[in-house]
Amino acid sequence: MDHFELRDGVLHAEDVPLPRIAEDVGTPVYVYSRATLERHARVFREALDAIPDKLIAFAVKANPNLAVLKVLSREGYGADVVSGGEMRRALAAGMAPRKIVFSGVGKTRRELSDALDSGIGQFNLESEEEGTELSALAADKGLRARCALRVNPDVDAGTHDKISTGKADNKFGVPIRDAAGIFGRLAQLPGLEMRGVAVHIGSQLGDLAPLEAAFGKLGALVQDLRAEGQTITHVDLGGGLGVPYVRGERLPEPAEYGAMVARATKDWGVTLIFEPGRVIAGNAGVLLTRVVRVKRGINDPFVIVDAAMNDLARPALYGAYHDFVAVEPDGERTRSNIVGPICETGDTFAMGRECDRLAAGDLAVFRTAGAYGATMASSYNSRGFVAEVLVDRDRYAVVADRIEAGAIMEAERVPEWLA
């Protein structure tokens, strides 16, 4: 459930009519709802009520906006980060270092070193090579890095290939058959406290079965490691729970996920770590856009909006579906092609989509844009970076300024020898 609803024929974010935001801030603009973020954070946490020891670490990549992180920090969430930049954001939002987990296959020496200095809660090591490097760094500083080994369980998550991470030939984690050996060797190195294992098989999962299969393999690994005398106190189960993009679409509810987790992990006796991203932020945001003009097409008209693939990349990258609705629908429906102004055909949000009738100047939104939206924006076609707004009941604030194309140009230089 979210807080974007029609009231007297006008789409609102909580108590704020979207035309007011479009008027004040301009379009395109991402609009997030604080109440929705909080609701999702609570629903997810309550779904895990049966798990006594846990850390919920929001996957910052889904929505790294500082104000969004602040909302989640106040809900007691920690952070799953994958770069020095994300770590800085989590800390700036007030998340305790202990609640920060650092994932990612390519953490640089600098990032590892900074994370050690910040005293983060856990490094999810993605290779033996990374563990060896971290050991040397930590030993040098006289520190011990708390670590989990990320394993690749070779499970097909049944999601889009580009966001699937748990198949044997994906770059993530170490092959599960090698995991015990690698863990044993890393556990002997100075500077490392090898305390657990981690898994994340993919994103936008529509079925819990592959997750349960992966957790089953992880449980067996925990047993094997303990049998070899290792101490396992933490298991990170990653994120991945999908959200409905198409209205009426049925996806596993957080409660079903929680019940499955409780079942799969009941005798593990560890602290469980969760890294939800999309399920928290996805439906807490929309991308508000204005129709530039409507152009006749061979079959259907082209509704050209002022948002483009540089603002919302998911349709161009993954062929993703985002519901598209008018802010002030007149009740008429029509088939249209929804496109942005960028000069490539990839800048298409939908072809032949049955949707609200729109005319030049009208406002509309792409729904379910709170996760992997603004964070994946670029300035392609010199369009600048999209603005972001957070609504809280009847007030709102700009939580990320629009970065105009001119400001980006100011960071560029023509060398003297070209002048």
Which residue numbers are catalytic?
343
Residue 254, interface with ligand LLP (CB under 6 A)? Answer: no
Residue 372, interface with ligand LLP (CB under 6 A)? Answer: yes
Among residues 3, 12, 200, 234, the one that binds ligand LLP under rule CB under 6 A: 200
Minimum Å distance from CB 204 to ligand LLP?
Answer: 6
| CA distance linking residue 84 with residue 79, whole number of Å | 13
Residue 89, interface with ligand LLP (CB under 6 A)? Answer: no
Residue 45, interface with ligand LLP (CB under 6 A)? Answer: no
Among residues 278, 290, 367, 383, the one that binds ligand LLP under rule CB under 6 A: 278
Residue 210, interface with ligand LLP (CB under 6 A)? Answer: no
User: What are the structure tokens assigned to 315, written together?
Assistant: 């349709």
Residue 63, interface with ligand LLP (CB under 6 A)? Answer: no
**H-helix or E-strand containing 178?**
helix 176-187
Minimum Å distance from CB 279 to ligand LLP?
Answer: 6
Residue 99, interface with ligand LLP (CB under 6 A)? Answer: no
Residue 59, interface with ligand LLP (CB under 6 A)? Answer: yes
Residue 277, interface with ligand LLP (CB under 6 A)? Answer: yes
Between residues 12 and 314, which has the closer beta carbon with respect to ligand LLP?
A: 314
Residue 384, interface with ligand LLP (CB under 6 A)? Answer: no
Place of tokens 């970065």: 403
Minimum Å distance from CB 121 to ligand LLP?
Answer: 14
Between residues 200 and 290, which has the closer beta carbon with respect to ligand LLP?
A: 200
Which residues are near ligand LLP by CB under 6 A?
A: 59, 61-62, 80, 103, 163, 165, 200, 203-204, 238-241, 275-279, 314, 318, 372
